[in-house]
Structure 1
Amino acid sequence: MSHTAHIPSHRKPRQSASKTALRAGVAGGVLSTIAVAGAAGPAQAEPVTRTVEMPTITAGLSTSVAASAQATQAVALDLETQAHEDAEAATAAKTAKKAKAEAVRKAEAKKKAEAAAKAKAEAAERASRTAERTTLSASTESSTTSAPVSSNATGSAASVIAFAQSHVGDAYVSGGTGPNSWDCSGLVQAAFRTVGVELPRVSQSQSTAGTQVSLDNLQPGDILYWGGAGSAYHVGIYVGDGQFVGAQNSSTGVVQKSLDYDPPSGAVRVL
């Protein structure tokens, strides 16, 4: 035993300090308990205990977090969609540009090919006309019926005949009006134009342009026609001595022939 055990204590009884314990839970609305020990009586007094329910904060927090996550996901989805659309638009624009360039290239190639084909065709046509004219000239020189003959025509008739005979050997071209290729009515119109007479352009109209005359009473400078008056399909110029000059067809060109070679249907006199 201690030698101080019998000495009574002179200190006043210690009053218990207030004790507070806080227990807080954050999941599922856990109750928080605060224990308060009061010192209102002697040291041996039982502590006073009070229970207080703390508010739950997890519900609102989880909702905010969920909403924020959902908004972030929506923004990310929108960005991904926009990026995909931008990529598709860029691809489409690139494809369209390439297709346009290809179309332009093909159009230019087609244009060049057409120009080359046209030039080739024109060259072939010129060569054909030259060969045909050479053949016609040789045939004319060797044929007594094709050689120009003198006539008793005078004045305007003589000028018309001289013009027509100067183009014997020229090529026949449908719609041709000279100076080196003709169709039948084109040659007749040009011959009469040299003396100031303006005839209609086509055979049908030329066959009624003057006074109808009998084939037995022809004079140099009369217009001969084949077919009906007003519906003629061919015309020529009577040059005298039973011969005429006319642009016959693509095989013969402009020739001087006997009326027996191709007897006309009728004649009109303009001069």
Structure 2
Amino acid sequence: MKVIDAGKTLIGKTRYVFGGGRSQSDINAGRFDCSSFVRWAFEQVGVNVGPMSGVTTDTLKTQGQAINPKDMKPGDMVFFDTYKIDGHVGIYVGDNQFLGCQGKTGVAIASMAKGTYFGERFNGRVKRF
């Protein structure tokens, strides 16, 4: 899936900064938060999910087509209830894993299997472009 391949190019090259990724200088320096990373990855494959300065989990959750979690496919956006409802977003890669920009790792693949941090916070919201 092209959006996943694009996102994977940033693994090990970023750090998580809440509110980061909303300027070209942040992007050049590898500073992203979860929603700005998702916006960047989709932009790389020609999908506009909103302006660089204004994309948040709250704007992303209104985009795309709602998908039943049992029908998730790689490339779908997945949402998690962290510090708030829909406080974190990533891109599903398959096998109960997603690609996202997280606090301790920056852009990385994380587990959303039952019993894991994100697995316990996955709220069932899945969106597809």
TM-score w.r.t. the length of structure 1 is 0.38
Distance 2:107 2:101 in 1: 4
TM-aligned CA deviation for residue 204 of structure 1 = 0.7
The answer to whether 1:191 aligns with 2:41 is yes
Q: 1:218 aligns with which of 72, 76, 99?
A: 72
TM-aligned CA deviation for residue 202 of structure 1 = 0.8
Contact in 1 for aligned 2:6/2:45 (Cα 8 Å):
no
Q: What are the ranges of 5 or more consecutive residues in structure 2 without an aligned counterpart?
A: 22-26
The answer to whether 1:163 aligns with 2:13 is no
Q: What are the ranges of 5 or more consecutive residues in structure 1 without an aligned counterpart?
A: 1-157
Q: 1:267 aligns with which of 104, 116, 126?
A: 126
Distance 2:66 2:5 in 1: 23
TM-aligned CA deviation for residue 183 of structure 1 = 0.5
User: 2:24: which partner in 1?
Assistant: none
Question: Whose Rg is larger?
Answer: 1
- Secondary structure of 2:110 counterpart: strand
TM-aligned CA deviation for residue 193 of structure 1 = 0.5
Give CA deviations for 1:89-139 in whole Å, capped at 9, x if unaligned. xxxxxxxxxxxxxxxxxxxxxxxxxxxxxxxxxxxxxxxxxxxxxxxxxxx
Percentage of matched positions with identical amino acids: 35
Equivalent AA in structure 2 for residue 221 of structure 1: G
TM-aligned CA deviation for residue 167 of structure 1 = 1.2
TM-score w.r.t. the length of structure 2 is 0.77
Number of residue equivalences: 109
Contact in 2 for aligned 1:225/1:236 (Cα 8 Å):
yes
The answer to whether 1:255 aligns with 2:114 is no
User: 1:238: which partner in 2?
Assistant: 92
What pairs with 1:1-271 in structure 2 (closer than 5 Å)? 158-169=1-12, 170-177=14-21, 178-179=27-28, 180-200=30-50, 201-227=55-81, 232-249=86-103, 251-260=104-113, 261=116, 262-263=118-119, 264-265=122-123, 266-270=125-129
Contact in 2 for aligned 1:168/1:245 (Cα 8 Å):
no
Bigger proportion of residues as strand: 2
Distance 2:102 2:110 in 1: 10
Identify which of structures 1 and 2 has the higher relative contact order when contacts are C-alpha pairs closer than 8 Å and 6+ apart. Answer: 2
Structure 1 runs of 4+ with >2 Å offset = none
Contact in 1 for aligned 2:18/2:33 (Cα 8 Å):
yes
Contact in 1 for aligned 2:90/2:100 (Cα 8 Å):
yes
Equivalent AA in structure 1 for residue 2 of structure 2: S
